[in-house]
Amino acid sequence: MSANLLLVEDDPLIRRALSQRMRKAGYRLREVGDVKAAAEALRNEDFDAVLVDFRLPDGTGFEVMQAVEERQQGTPCLMLTAHGSVEHAVEAMSRGAFTYLRKPVDADELDVQLAKALETAKLRQENQRLRRLRAPTQGAAAFLGVSAAAEQVRATIRQVAASPARSILLQGESGTGKGLVARAIHEASDRADRAFVPITCSAVPDNLLESELFGHEPGAFTDARKRKMGLLEAADGGTLFLDEIGDMPAGLQAKLLGVLEERRFRRVGGLKEIEVDVRVVSATHRNLEAMVKEGQFRADLLYRLRVIPIHIPPLRERPDDIPILAQHFVSELAAGWGRPTMGITEDAKTALQARAWPGNVRELRNALERAVILATGGEVDAKAVGAEEPGSEGQSLVLPAQGLNVETVMDDLVRTALDRSSGNQSAAARLLGMSRDQVRYRMQKMGLLRRNGAEVSEVR
């Protein structure tokens, strides 16, 4: 459909000349001669761009621009001005006009500038749409779902976030969304404008974890050449998220307990005590009570950490939430791959609800990432999420009578995965259940990589 333009010009000769030019170029056009008529048009009709004269019988083009901002924000305005009104045009640019055109308007220049304005507006709208898709929902609303279990988690997030509690323990299976809940608590609290600092205790070697948390002074150990701020200091006034707290070494558990009780600590190798105001949210999939009995976790630290315990339910206990989560992930992933908005069929949602999902929400998201890559149309269907075809139950792979060459089959699979993932080796590896290095090794054997590792033209 052609663009719809609003022309605000009181001179009948100029208005007639411009309208003829615009309609000849294929645009739809609404013509008015003053500010009042322009405001009325903006109330009743959507426009893709506005061409407005500066001097009007009942006001100026600035007033029209204000009406555009109030009623159709983001619509580009092109200011028309006489030679003596260039200073007004410059002011209009500072107020957000896309450009200005001097009278008499050059027809070719008008065509160029109008095309630019429309394209810029289109790109801006698309970028806003993508940001909305990619931007995570904040606060309690980030925990998606319609089940009673999901609503209970959201209610708990809101209640805990508003409380003065400084120690919160999140417990639940791997992949249930403990990190998401930790961030949601932070975003819903009065600490939201300060730092949210996450660290996974199991991901940092024991000998480095203390320095990461508490920082160190120069000379504290061999490689400590400069003073380093720890994550506790970085989180001052905000939230420190300790994921996989069950993997924290015993010596460090005692030091963390001191911070929680005294709200102060010393850097590694330091003498000065540093006070911090920090909320500590911890998370684990392990049974800390059992670890206490086995002597692997301090009982006093557990009591301090779980001042407010929150259980995150596994996905199998909230199957009603799967369709909502699935649509959210499909939209998010499709936007990330630069694809148009993508949906998911009801059959696909039903198929996803039928699974146990031992890896919980993380496993669901990974499965949908694969489905989005494999999808050939505008929707993720049951086949893309791996649902069996009718009558396929119990079937197994049938080998051809003449046999097959496993190496050739493997090469074909790699080529297919690379094609499906637009040459993205990491995505191809996920489709095949292989590592990226394994895919690259296979590509090299197939002659798709040069010896220096560069890709040949067959693969992007």
Instruction: Return phi, psi of residue 120, to 5°.
Output: -60, -45
Is pLDDT at 208 greater than 90 in this prediction?
no
Return the higher-pLDDT residue of 443 and 325: 325
**Using CA atoms, how far apart are residues 253 and 255, in angstroms rounded to an integer?**
5
Return the higher-pLDDT residue of 96 and 310: 310
**pLDDT tens-digit readout, 250-306:** 889 999 999 999 999 988 888 888 899 999 999 999 999 999 999 999 999 999 999
pLDDT at 1: 54
In the chain the domains, ranked by start, together with CATH numbers, are: 4-134 (3.40.50.2300), 139-313 (3.40.50.300), 316-380 (1.10.8.60), 406-445 (1.10.10)
pTM of the model: 0.57
Cis amide prior to 104 (ω within 30 degrees): yes
Tokens representing 399 are: 């080998």
Instruction: Return phi, psi of residue 363, to 5°.
Output: -65, -40
Instruction: Name the DSSP class of 138.
Output: P
pLDDT at 137: 59
The model's confidence at residue 450, banded by pLDDT at 50, 70 and 90, is low
State which H helix or E strand residue 17 sits in: helix 12-24
**pLDDT tens-digit readout, 40-65:** 999 888 899 999 998 899 998 899 99
State which H helix or E strand residue 60 sits in: strand 59-60
Segment 178-188 shows an average pLDDT of 94
**3-class DSSP state of 43:** helix
Tokens representing 146 are: 């319609």
The model's confidence at residue 83, banded by pLDDT at 50, 70 and 90, is low
**3-class DSSP state of 14:** helix
**Using CA atoms, how far apart are residues 192 and 185, in angstroms rounded to an integer?**
9
Instruction: Name the DSSP class of 263.
Output: S
Q: In this structure, is the dihedral angle defined by the CA atoms of residues 268, 271, 273 and 274, taken in order, positive or negative?
A: negative
**pLDDT tens-digit readout, 117-145:** 888 777 667 655 554 444 455 678 889 99
**pLDDT tens-digit readout, 15-40:** 999 999 889 888 999 999 999 999 99
**Percent of the chain's residues with pLDDT above 90:** 41
Tokens representing 271 are: 């003498």
Residue 230: which of 249, 210, 215 has the closest Cα?
A: 215
Residues in the chain: 460
Q: Which residues of 125-152 are buried (b: 16+ CB within 10 A; e: fewer)?
A: eeeeeeeeeeeeeebbebbbbebebbee
> Mean pLDDT for the chain?
84
